[in-house]
């Protein structure tokens, strides 16, 4: 009988140890353990001048309550070590913009950190739903990004060159939540014959009938944080409005357009991550002589 009790106690102790270890990892390690996700995309529409050009996508910084200056500085150092040519930001600079207006100190710190990000072919951004909480927050978010050398491309497109007339096209779409996506304006002049990349905040925008998916080769989005806790075989414990159908990872829409939903950098509500590490998505563009199937 005593041996049986000891065995049962041992099992409970082991379960408790595993539980405490998982909790410690998700709270103290995973939230800072940034994952650099490297992928390659090949297309005949990618100009030869853009062969091996790299694009880094970051989103959901959530600076403030949990994302400290030091944590973000360490993440930025690792992003710069990957030497991206182009840097894209998908929105949400601060954590709680409903109950708190970001202080001047946090604004100054964020400008300092974001300005240190390097990308020789340019840094481009759209705003997230927290950046659009009200006009005061929107003005501050815009100032932070502008002062950090980001060009905001909400609801517009631009052609990006690499020392020649050849180009790829970036298209910025306003946030599905709190924003006003203007598809007609954003896609004005966009050619299906060119390599087109869209940046937006909420991935479920691809369900909107007005978005011309046939014009897009690649879409970057965030917002979901990959639910922060996602269990094997079970999946995300919760999903957010705007990221209920597309929560994290890669999706092919209509078998042609690739949607990339990043885990983002920061955390919200709980400073905890499990099976959804902070993430930077880096894509290497490669010119192909014949079309590559997904």
Q: Which has more confidence, 247 or 65?
A: 247
Please, what is the end-to-end C-alpha distance for the chain in angstroms?
A: 61
Mean pLDDT of 50-55: 97
Band of residue 73 on the pLDDT scale cut at 50, 70, 90? very high
Q: Is the C-alpha dihedral spanning 220, 222, 226, 228 positive or negative?
A: positive
Average pLDDT score over residue span 164-184: 96
Predicted local confidence at residue 185, as pLDDT: 97
Map tokens 């007005």 to a residue: 210
Beta bridge partners of 38: 282
The answer to whether 198 and 173 are in contact (CB under 8 A) is yes
Task: Name the residue with tokens 């944080």.
Answer: 225
Q: What is the CATH number of domain 33-287?
A: 3.60.21.10
- Helix, strand, coil percent content, the chain, rounded in steps of 5: 30, 25, 45
Residue 17 has pLDDT above 60, yes or no: no
* Residue-level pLDDT at 294: 61
- Lowest mean pLDDT of 103-107, 115-119, 185-189, name the range: 103-107
Residue 1 binned pLDDT confidence (cut-offs 50, 70, 90): low
Q: Considering the chain, what is the average pLDDT of its residues?
A: 91
pLDDT band at 233, cuts 50/70/90? Answer: confident
Q: What residue ranges do the domains of the chain occupy?
A: 33-287
Structure tokens given for 121: 């072919």
Helix intervals (H) in 25-166? 69-81, 104-115, 135-147
Question: Is the pLDDT assigned to residue 214 strictly greater than 70?
Answer: yes
On whether the pTM is more than 0.95, the answer is: no
For the residues 32-60, what does the mean pLDDT come to?
Answer: 96
| Closest to 178 measured CA to CA, from 133, 213, 241 | 133
pLDDT at 251: 95
10 Å Cβ neighbour count for 56?
Answer: 22
Band (pLDDT 50/70/90 cuts) for residue 264 is very high
């Amino acid at each position: 009988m005593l041996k049986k009790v000891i065995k049962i106690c041992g099992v409970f102790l082991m379960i408790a140890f595993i539980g405490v270890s998982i909790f410690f990892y998700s709270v103290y390690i995973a939230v800072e353990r940034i994952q650099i996700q490297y992928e390659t995309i090949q297309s005949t529409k990618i100009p030869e001048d853009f062969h091996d050009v790299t694009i880094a996508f970051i989103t959901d910084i959530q600076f403030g309550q949990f994302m400290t200056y030091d944590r973000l500085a360490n993440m930025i150092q690792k992003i710069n070590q990957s030497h991206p040519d182009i840097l894209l930001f998908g929105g949400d600079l601060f954590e709680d913009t409903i109950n708190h207006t970001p202080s001047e100190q946090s604004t100054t710190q964020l400008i300092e950190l974001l300005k240190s990000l390097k990308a020789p072919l340019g840094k481009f951004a759209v705003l997230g739903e927290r950046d659009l909480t009200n006009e005061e927050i929107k003005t501050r978010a815009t100032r932070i990004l502008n002062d950090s050398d980001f060009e905001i491309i909400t609801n517009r497109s631009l052609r990006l060159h690499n020392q020649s007339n050849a180009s790829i096209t970036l298209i910025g779409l306003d946030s599905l939540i709190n924003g006003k996506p203007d598809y007609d304006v954003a896609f004005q002049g966009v050619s299906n014959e060119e390599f087109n990349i869209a940046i937006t905040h909420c991935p479920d925008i691809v369900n909107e009938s007005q978005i011309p998916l046939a014009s897009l080769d690649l879409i970057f989005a965030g917002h979901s944080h990959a639910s922060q806790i996602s269990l094997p075989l079970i999946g995300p414990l919760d999903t957010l409005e705007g990221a209920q159908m597309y929560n994290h990872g890669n999706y092919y829409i209509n078998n042609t357009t690739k949607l990339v939903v990043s885990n983002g950098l920061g955390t919200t509500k709980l400073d905890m991550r499990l099976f959804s590490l902070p993430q930077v998505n880096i894509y290497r563009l490669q010119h192909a002589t014949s079309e590559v199937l997904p």
